[in-house]
Chains A and B, each alone.
Chain A
Amino acid sequence: MSAFVQSATRRPVLMSARIWLALLIFAGFAALPLIAALTDDPFLMLIGTRILAYAIAAMALDLILGYGAMVSFGHAAYLGFGAYAVAILNSYGVTDLLVHILFAVLLSAVFAAITGAISLRTRGVYFIMITLAFGQMAYFFFVSLSAYGGDDGTPLQSRSTLFGRDALESDLVMFYVALALLIALFAVATRIVGSRFGRVLIGTRENPVRMEAIGLSPFRYQLTAFVISGCMTSVAGVILANQAEFVSPAFMSWHRSGELIVMVVLGGIGNLTGAIGGAVVALLLEDWLAMLTEHWRLLFGVFLILMVLYSPHGITGALERLKGARK
């Protein structure tokens, strides 16, 4: 109990510091097009959009992983639902971005509600493996969906339209739309975490038996959080499909789910700002290592193991430890 009370009283200060940090990150993103213009590097916008999409996904995963202690190893599936929502609706001539997002969210909500209800009957290692298996199930479904290219995927005819205009064809507009979505979803996630719902979720993480004892059903809260998280992740999938103008099952491979977890842990779990930061750092590190050598995965793997063994709380943990040492 004491840990819970402590974190609840400590939270307002920490919370606002984290929100300021998040605003700083958003400002940095907003200035990115300026840097792209100055360095005359048009690819920077595409890289930026990709990072924004993964930031949304990592934040969504942190909502259940960090605040609800549900280690979902199948979250890449929702990236895929978002991406295929764009491809499928496009092929039927429905191109509006909002409709795409709505369809993606609907699809994800149904899948998350069904698989979540089954997965949440279990705990710990079982939960990890079951979410992984359900993620693979979705993956294989799209691999055998030959109408949309099967294993190879399919290119998009065009990007989504915004209120009937093809504004997203500009990488710059695409980037800012992605940024706006990230900020909006960050606001939603922050509200959720701070609400009564969020407190019950955190309480369930700390001690589900106790939550039941005070008359709350952990299952319902956990399942709702699971569905919300899946829906948010699918928005990232919609952005990714538009960024790449290409959709394939590779978005949903279990490696991708692993990378999402890496981002969350890198940023420090249970910390929405950290998840965004973790996505930025992980993707930049990948790109940087890939420039150094074609065998970058080897280095990334070594980095992962060292991080787990020596800095279990990610960047935020390392920073907070530094701050503590100075005091």
Chain B
Amino acid sequence: MTNLFILQLLNGAQLGVLLFLIAAGLTLVFGIMDVINLAHGVLYMIGAYLIATFAALTGSFWAGLLLMLPAALVVGLVIERLVIRPLYARSHLDQVLATFGLVMIVNEGVKMLWGTSPLSVPMPELLNGSIPLIGPLQYPVYRLAIIAAGLAVAAGLYVVVNHTRIGMLLRAGASNREMVSALGVDIGKLFSLVFALGALLACFAGAIVAPILSVDTGMGESVLILTFVVVVIGGIGSIRGAFLGALLVAVVDTLGRTFGPIVLRSVMEPAAAGQTGRMLAPMLVYILMAVILFARPQGLFGQRTS
């Protein structure tokens, strides 16, 4: 039981850092640019497809990853220039519609370019295999590497946001956009930077998860909604909120799916417990969101705006 718990906790942490990588960009785009971007999940998918292609071309995961990063940056800048920039001054409704259109275009475009059958990315040789944890417990090295990479990026973001000039502008932009631009900061450039950074993080998440998932066109959809939940729970514009929110959501989701039925079994008969558990587990995250919002409508670390 304890072993299962530790295993699921690690799985939760792995999902959590992935969600964080995606949510960090999303929360910045919401908080600083005041743009709701439904196409953010699509960027995660693009990252996975890009690494699948580059890894197949070069024959190496690492070379693929290196090539993916600049390509992701270009994708982010192009999308920002063509679709997002004209939407800055528009209502949230317009932003929802246009980025919904973008989701349709990219999903269909990916199908046309790469076909509908899922792709797979080979596991890098260096990180193959499992290591023993406690007793008979084994855990795949690659999954640990994902957790480590996610934490490293989180630490890097922390340093950038809290201890550099750009980070200062980001924080200032999240709390008062007009004032930042009135102080002579080129807000257009800052927006492009924020969006490209968000795109890069989402693509990176898609790329590092590619070896343990099958790469297909549905993968962006499933994370998008969870990322929204993370951003709402953490509070819009807060990277710290995104980090804690991501871990909370991921751990609750993974543990709920495994232990929900087990806990229920102590209060009802096994068959009914299994059935109820399976039905309740996917809803747990949303119930968590509802409870948190009921207590704090602005999220855990959000600022109350008017």
Contacts of A65 in B (CB 8 A): 93
Q: Does A200 contact B (CB under 8 A)?
A: no
Interface of chain A residues 274 through 327 with chain B (CB within 8 A): 295, 297-298, 300-305, 307-309, 312
User: Is the Cβ of B96 less than 8 Å from the Cβ of A128?
Assistant: yes
Interface of chain B residues 204 through 239 with chain A (CB within 8 A): 221, 225, 228-229, 231-232, 236
CA–CA, A300 and B231, complex, Å: 29
Q: CB within 8 Å of B: which residues of A?
A: 65, 71, 73, 115, 118, 121-122, 124-126, 128-130, 132-134, 136-137, 140-141, 143-146, 254, 258, 261-262, 265, 269, 295, 297-298, 300-305, 307-309, 312
Question: Which one of B60-68, B102-110, B137-145, B195-203 is at the interface?
Answer: B102-110
Contacts of B278 in A (CB 8 A): 144, 146
Q: Shortest beta-carbon distance, B249 to chain A, in Å? A: 11
- B87, B100, B286: the one contacting A137 at CB < 8 Å is B286
- A128, A136, A269, A298: the one contacting B105 at CB < 8 Å is A298
Interface of chain B residues 269 through 306 with chain A (CB within 8 A): 275, 278-279, 281-283, 286-287, 289-290, 293-294, 297-299
Query: Which residue of chain A is the closest to B31 with respect to CB atoms?
Result: A125
User: Is the Cβ of B101 less than 8 Å from the Cβ of A128?
Assistant: no
CA–CA, A304 and B96, complex, Å: 10
CA–CA, A270 and B57, complex, Å: 52
Q: Does B161 contact A (CB under 8 A)?
A: no
Question: Looking at chain B, what size class is its interface with the partner chain?
Answer: 35 or more
Give 16 A-B contacts (CB < 8 Å), ordered by A residue. Answer: A71-B93, A125-B30, A128-B96, A129-B228, A129-B231, A130-B289, A134-B290, A137-B282, A143-B282, A254-B221, A261-B96, A261-B97, A265-B97, A295-B111, A297-B104, A300-B101
Contacts of B282 in A (CB 8 A): 137, 140-141, 143-144
CA–CA, A67 and B108, complex, Å: 34
User: Is the Cβ of A304 less than 8 Å from the Cβ of B104?
Assistant: yes
Q: Shortest beta-carbon distance, B147 to chain A, in Å? A: 26
User: Is the Cβ of B293 less than 8 Å from the Cβ of A132?
Assistant: no
Most A CB contacts (10 A, CB to CB) among B92, B94, B290 go to B290
CA–CA, A295 and B225, complex, Å: 25
Most A CB contacts (10 A, CB to CB) among B102, B105, B231 go to B105
Contacts of B221 in A (CB 8 A): 254
User: Is the Cβ of B294 less than 8 Å from the Cβ of A312?
Assistant: no
Most B CB contacts (10 A, CB to CB) among A136, A141, A145, A308 go to A308
Contacts of A269 in B (CB 8 A): 93
Contacts of A141 in B (CB 8 A): 279, 282-283
CA–CA, A254 and B228, complex, Å: 13
